[in-house]
Amino acid sequence: MIEELLPPRVACVETTDDHVVTLFPEERAAVAGAVEKRRREFSTARWCARQALRRLDMPPTPIVPGRRGAPSWPAAVVGSITHCAGFRAAAVAHQRDLLTLGIDAEPNEPLSPGVFETISTPDERDEHRMLGKFGSVCWDRMLFSIKESVYKAWYPVTHQFLDFAEATVRIDAERRTFHAELHAPPAHVSGVRVAAFTGRWAASEGLLVSAIAVPSRRYLPTAHEDRAWPVARAGR
């Protein structure tokens, strides 16, 4: 599901089953005191990440939660992880191609009472009223997923927390895209000004997924890639 939202040079592996994987000692230590559910999602996400890294011809390396929980990827690799009930995924790419990546999956269920008001801006609440007519998507949860993808793409390149009020998301229900305007001071990363993110979303099999992939300055899409991933440059 998520792979279809990402450009061809991103390796994305997702699964609906839990998988047995040998964790590195540092990974084992990271979940030593965790409950079984957390150990399972953590391990299966590492399984996904190892498979995805292999597609980039990278050997397995420990992927441990670092500062504020951001996963540690091998040098010159960017990536993102998500897990929710019945779904786990990891996406990785070479840094020469992508500046950053953010993926998120959520159940297609309404948020608990009061949460939408906490995570949304007034503009987003206005838009939410209009989106109601588009299909069976729980738009409040979709907004949440998109904001989680925004944070996962933002944090690794800025090392700054981003509050829910610091992004205003506009969802295009027909094109299945979104645009997130950031209200935090823009970041300048490897020559790219990061003040907004553009991404894609999907809803299927009881899940909502969203993804952001920001191309690096050196990313030169082939004609085929440009057709397959027309939002590549809009992410800047």
Ligand X SMILES: CC(C)(COP(=O)(O)OP(=O)(O)OC[C@H]1O[C@@H](n2cnc3c(N)ncnc32)[C@H](O)[C@@H]1OP(=O)(O)O)[C@@H](O)C(=O)NCCC(=O)NCCS
Q: Is 82 in the site for ligand X (CB under 6 A)?
A: yes
How many other C-beta atoms are found inside a 10 Å radius of the C-beta of residue 4? 13
Q: Is 1 in the site for ligand X (CB under 6 A)?
A: no
* 150 in Cβ contact with 171 (< 8 Å): no
Stretch that binds ligand X, among 19-27, 67-75, 91-99, 212-220 (CB under 6 A): 67-75
Site for ligand X in 151-190 (CB under 6 A): 151-152, 155-156, 162, 164, 167
Question: Residues for the chain: how many in total?
Answer: 236
| Contact stretch for ligand X (CB under 6 A) within 13-21, 93-101, 145-153, 212-220 | 145-153
Least distance in angstroms from the C-beta of 51 to ligand X = 15
- CB 46 to ligand X: min, Å: 8
Strand partners, 100: 214
Closest by CA position to 156, among listed 46, 231, 71, 235: 71
The count of C-alpha atoms lying within 13 angstroms of the C-alpha of 95, restricted to the half-sphere facing its C-beta, is 11
Question: Does residue 141 touch ligand X according to CB under 6 A?
Answer: no
Contacts 24+ apart (CB under 8 A), 110-115: 110/138, 110/140, 110/141, 111/138, 111/140, 111/141, 111/144, 115/140, 115/144
CB closer to ligand X, 50 vs 152: 152
Nearer to ligand X, 36 or 174 (CB): 36
- Please tell me whether residue 71 binds ligand X under the rule CB under 6 A: yes
184 within 8 A of 168, measured Cβ to Cβ: no
Verify binding: residue 148, ligand X, rule CB under 6 A: yes
Measured from the CB atom, the residue of 67 and 129 that comes closer to ligand X is 67
Number of residues forming the site for ligand X (CB under 6 A): 22
Burial status of residue 117 (CB atoms within 10 A of its CB: 0-12, 13-18, 19 or more)? exposed
User: Taking CB under 6 A as the rule, does residue 93 contact ligand X?
Assistant: no
Binding mask 205-224 for ligand X (x = CB under 6 A): --------------------
Binding residue (CB under 6 A) for ligand X from 68, 125, 217, 218: 68
Q: Does 73 bind ligand X (CB under 6 A)?
A: no
13 makes contact with ligand X (CB under 6 A): no
Report the candidate in 2, 20, 140, 158 with the shortest Cα–Cα distance to residue 80.
2
Interface residues with ligand X (CB under 6 A) are: 42, 45, 65, 68-71, 81-84, 104, 147-148, 150-152, 155-156, 162, 164, 167
Which residues make up each annotated binding site for CoA?
38, 46, 82-83, 104, 148, 152, 162
